[in-house]
Amino acid sequence: MTPFTAILRDSDQELRIDDLVSFRSRDASGAFSLQARHADFLTLTESGLSQLTRSQGAQFLAATGGLLEFEKGVLYFSTRRFFIDADADIIQQRLMEWLTNEKERRASSHVHLQQLEHELMRRLSRA
């Protein structure tokens, strides 16, 4: 099979893969697969696990939902966070840990914003 290039990006990293044979994932319409010479394609993927078949074997990509574009034989995938490994269980666990930590950070930020708002209102009421 003819290999193609994929460029995967998240908030922390960019990974270029030049020996991709197929990419399987999911969007709102269901599962799909891309191979070299596929027609140009644009979709929003769902959070979860995708499969990348490379020349030397399969790898898995666990990612938050993202924008996937296949243009002129190159796959571009942008997401908030992704993990890639040959072991699906490991990367799925890493993604779940990241999502849990992200939820905790958001909750903490929300509390901090409430405290700032309260302090602002207190100071405005004194003025």
Q: State the Cα–Cα distance between residues 42 and 68, nearest whole angstrom.
A: 6
Phi, then psi, of 36 in degrees rounded to 5 = -55, 150
CA dihedral 122, 123, 126, 127 (to 10 degrees): -140
pLDDT digits (tens, 9 = 90+) for 10-47: 999 999 999 999 999 999 999 999 999 999 999 999 98
Q: What is the model's pTM?
A: 0.75
> In angstroms, rounded to a whole number, what is the distance separating the alpha carbons of residues 121 and 119?
5
Read off the pLDDT of residues 56-110 as tens digits, 9 standing for 90 and up. 899 999 998 999 999 999 999 999 989 999 998 888 788 788 888 888 877 776 6
Say if CB 20 and CB 29 are below 8 A apart. no
- Are residues 88 and 24 in contact, defined by beta-carbon separation less than 8 angstroms? no
